[in-house]
Structure 1
Amino acid sequence: MAHWSSGYADFHEELYAEPLIPSSPPLLRCTECGATLDGLDALREHMFLAHPISHPVLIHRGRFCGDARLLVQRPTEAKDWTTVNCTSVRVNDDTVSPTDLGPRLSTARGVVDVQLYNDRSNRKYEFDFAIAHDDDLHGVDAELIRAIKDGDIASNSISTFYERSLEFSTAQNYSGGIAEYLYWMASRRVETEITTAVRNRDKLNNAAHLLSDIFRPAALAITSLISFHFNHFEDAAHRALSPGLRDVSARMDRMLTSSIGATDIARIDGELSQVEKLLVDEKTASLLVLCSLPLDSSTTRDVAEFARSDDPYDQLKAHLFAAEHHLATGDTRAEQLVRTARQNGLSERWLNARLDLITEEGSIWHTAPAAAAPANSAPLRKANGTTATASHRTTGPDPTGTEITESRGNLAPNRHPTPTPATMPARTPTTARSDQIELTIPPPGNVDSTRKQANEAPNNAAASQTGEATTKSGNVTATHVPRDTVTATIPRATRSTNAVPAPRAPDTPLRTTPEVVHTRAEHDHHERATDTEPRRKSWLGRPLPRQK
């Protein structure tokens, strides 16, 4: 008999079987010390911890050189260049020793490629040596004064300046950086779109890049104004030509970095130099005037009505100075400015410091005086020398006997002091009266019966008002009355929560009211008939019980 098979098993047999013993991971060997490790991650960790790589480093005038091309526009000396962890050097494919690199770079011109090597690593640098001659720099300065002396800075005048400066071949970076700044300065006079504003900002960054390494009056004035615009106040104070720009930049830097608020309250009287006046734009000039004002109440209106620019960098300066001014003068608008500081680019560190300043009890910031002080209230002298008619820190009684009203303009927290026996008002002693108040404790029972009893016994309340006693021989009469009526007869002048009612005489019967019992249907009908207020419903649509 033949055997029939479909052939399914021939093509679906298991061709690979799991080994009985799992194979061990491959071992990797360290090329530095020969250690074997059981994985790539373990080898990387071993190389990082046991054999750290020290890359060669090139230092120019105390700063580490980076991967980007470095523009050098000032003459250098051999001592300005230093190498670290370097064994060999190649300059434009020429091999030199590390000690000869400084003299080689101090005389280089144009674009130069430098590669540093050691036993385990290498590093590549690129430099652009564009050192201008003094005669060419003076020529560019003369063309700049000629272009901006009348104050009319437009695109055609900027183009004319750049074309005339091309004859000074070694100072093209100098003239190009000035032209980029003038184009940005001209764009500040008109409203621009977002894309145009981004392009103008790129022009400003390019101008700072081309002029940062040139020590000429125009270059220093432009770079200091650029730093002030970008809110780099420390660098602006370092590069400023005039004491006016330097003092304002230093003041803004202290406001931005200090955790105790502004300390220099007086006006800054310094002026800009002649070159800075020619190169500053109108918006920056108005900000310089604003930031030089004194931090007192005489300039509150000028600060509040300052027309702010739509530029985010200008908004930060205006917001910062306005907040510090209002904090120093105790203006109520300071709290809103502090809480919206993050929307204008101020740091979280500044925000937290100012929030602590205006909310912490016992802070030293100036408190705003009260709007209207009483005529007979003596002014209070504060620790910082200012005078206020109200203070939330008053913890004792007023020695003059007058009440000091707390001003709502104070931004400090509304913490009222704990009353003392000397400050608490004396209570008026009660006068003994012959009439009595009847207090009755209702028993638990039907709601409708108690309401009906309350309607049937109006004479009890009338008797309590006219002096008619409901007890005999000073005894207490207990009745079934509603919960909200009185419980016992106690004289008004001698009532107390600890009073014990007099014992009832044995021959005095208790006056009781027969209890009325209603059915459930009668109770619901009475509730619907007397319900005049709409019942509230829960979120499930069910009526909530009426509050008693």
Structure 2
Amino acid sequence: MAKITDAVDPGNAGGSVLIPEIPTEPNRPLTFKCNKCGEVFTDREARRQHIFDQHPFKRPQLLVGSRMVKERGEVVASPFPPADWVIQQAERIVIDQQEVSSRQACRRLSEITSGFHEVTLTSADYSVTYHIEFDIPTEAQLATVERVFNTLIVNQPLESDRIAQFITVAKQEDGARYYLEGVSDFLYGVLAKDQRGGTSLGPDDYSAKYHAAREALRFLNRPLANLIKALVNFNDNAFNEAVALAPGGQVAIACQVMNGLRSGKHCSAPDTRIASDHSLPVDTLTAEIMRFCSLPLAEQQEQLPQLVHLASKRLTTDHDRVKIQALAMNTCWEAGDHEEATHWTKKLRHSPLFEALATRIIEDVENE
């Protein structure tokens, strides 16, 4: 075969450079090899499916109290027995640079009460390190927060200065840090949502405060902490989670009503008025919605215009507005005012929460 020259200037010297002959090889079929077991496949998709089916990715996981532990920023502010700590998919466990067995790890984690600690879990495929702060208060520290709360907050006008005083006094008396933060964040959220009490927070800041409160209190099993978490969930229209935390009283009644409406069922009003059973300050709309759910039907009819008026307010959130609309629809239907009930169905016909009941009322009216 004749040599081929390429007239490419190699530099200042000029001239030409010979390109060497390229040996030819017969075409070979393209294959894809599994790097786990060596099995060979004729196409990439077949190998991907094989890996997905036969070699699933195993990522270690650490759970406490049936909840996933966050890798960073996790705070454990409540004691858990060894059985509540669960380690999954880990072949090697290291706590604070000391390798331990799974049983030893769970026992060790249940005994830590303070400080920052590092837990590294390693599997064949992955290694993950958890940075956990333990700040587990004593019973006396928890009781201090509740005592100061009862003294300074219960049955008192809720104002920013009073919340600041509550924080100052509880800190001076060595109250539980995260319990105090959760309670105060919730109280600040109430002021932000209502835009009252001398708050400097904007109306949109209430949600961040509520969620910070729920996060700070998430492992704390105390009546006050559980009630706050229930009210935050109720505010977010997470009714099942709310009623699990507050299984009795006015909060539970409101959740049961809302859950019934969400499942497409009409809810009958109670025969007699049910009084509030808690002294925790709540925002105006939540208080009105819960109170409305606790009224007999005649009183619900009488007070419905006032509730509906609140729904038209500028500060009313979408979560609260849809609850009020669902209550208005149900009350009108239960009172026999089907025309007005149908009016409310038009607002809820495409609601993810109350579409089922709205559709049912429309069908019932059409079939009359």
Contact 1:244–1:269 (CA<8 Å) still a contact in 2?
Answer: no
Instruction: Confirm or deny that 1:412 pairs with 2:343.
Output: no
2:89 pairs with one of 72, 79, 85? 85
Deviations 1:252-289 (A, max 9, x none): 22222x23x2243434633222xx23423333222112
Q: 1:148 offset after TM fit, Å?
A: 1.8
Match of 1:283 in 2: 285
Match of 1:444 in 2: none
1:34 pairs with one of 23, 28, 38? 38
1:264 pairs with one of 249, 264, 268? 268
Structure 2 CA distance for partners of 1:138 and 1:55, relative to 1, 3 Å: same
Consecutive unaligned residues of structure 1, counting only runs of 5 or more, are: 1-8, 364-410, 415-548
Contact 1:266–1:293 (CA<8 Å) still a contact in 2?
Answer: yes
Give the superposed CA RMSD: 3.2
1:62 pairs with one of 57, 61, 66? 66
Q: Matched residue of 2:366: which SS? A: coil
Structure 2 CA distance for partners of 1:266 and 1:170, relative to 1, 3 Å: closer
Whichever residue aligns with residue 276 of structure 2, its letter is: L
Match of 1:327 in 2: 333
For 1:494-505, list aligned pairs within 5 A.
none
Instruction: Confirm or deny that 1:200 pairs with 2:206.
Output: yes
Match of 2:347 in 1: 340
Q: Matched residue of 2:120: which SS? A: strand
Structure 2 CA distance for partners of 1:281 and 1:31, relative to 1, 3 Å: closer
For 1:111-130, list aligned pairs within 5 A.
111-130=116-135
Structure 2 CA distance for partners of 1:166 and 1:311, relative to 1, 3 Å: same
Match of 2:295 in 1: 293
Q: Which moved more, 1:98-107 or 1:261-270?
A: 261-270
Match of 2:140 in 1: 135
Work out the CA distance in 2 between the residues paired with 1:66 and 1:148. 33
TM-score, scaled relative to structure 1: 0.56
Work out the CA distance in 1 between the residues paired with 2:35 and 2:24. 34
Deviations 1:88-120 (A, max 9, x none): 201122111112111110112333221222333
Match of 1:146 in 2: 151
Work out the CA distance in 2 between the residues paired with 1:16 and 1:324. 87
Contact 1:245–1:271 (CA<8 Å) still a contact in 2?
Answer: no
Contact 2:62–2:86 (CA<8 Å) still a contact in 1?
Answer: yes
Work out the CA distance in 1 between the residues paired with 2:47 and 2:131. 34
Q: 1:172 offset after TM fit, Å?
A: 1.1
Deviations 1:285-325 (A, max 9, x none): 221121223346x6434213423242222212211111112
1:43 pairs with one of 44, 47, 56? 47
Whichever residue aligns with residue 359 of structure 2, its letter is: L
Work out the CA distance in 2 between the residues paired with 1:112 and 1:72. 11
Consecutive unaligned residues of structure 2, counting only runs of 5 or more, are: 1-5, 9-18
Work out the CA distance in 2 between the residues paired with 1:279 and 1:336. 34
Work out the CA distance in 2 between the residues paired with 1:335 and 1:58. 50
2:234 pairs with one of 222, 228, 231? 228
Deviations 1:118-147 (A, max 9, x none): 333333333332211111112222221222
Work out the CA distance in 1 between the residues paired with 2:38 and 2:158. 71
Work out the CA distance in 2 between the residues paired with 1:150 and 1:59. 39
Contact 2:250–2:291 (CA<8 Å) still a contact in 1?
Answer: no
TM-score, scaled relative to structure 2: 0.81
Match of 1:176 in 2: 181
Instruction: Confirm or deny that 1:160 pairs with 2:162.
Output: no
Whichever residue aligns with residue 126 of structure 1, its letter is: H
For 1:308-457, list aligned pairs within 5 A.
308-309=310-311, 310-331=316-337, 332-341=339-348, 346-347=351-352, 350-359=354-363, 363=364, 411-413=365-367
* Identical columns (%): 22
Q: Which moved more, 1:153-162 or 1:333-342?
A: 333-342
Contact 1:86–1:118 (CA<8 Å) still a contact in 2?
Answer: yes
Contact 1:244–1:268 (CA<8 Å) still a contact in 2?
Answer: no
Structure 2 CA distance for partners of 1:247 and 1:299, relative to 1, 3 Å: closer
Work out the CA distance in 2 between the residues paired with 1:18 and 1:264. 88
Contact 1:208–1:226 (CA<8 Å) still a contact in 2?
Answer: yes
Work out the CA distance in 1 between the residues paired with 2:126 and 2:52. 14
Whichever residue aligns with residue 304 of structure 1, its letter is: P
Q: 1:175 offset after TM fit, Å?
A: 1.1
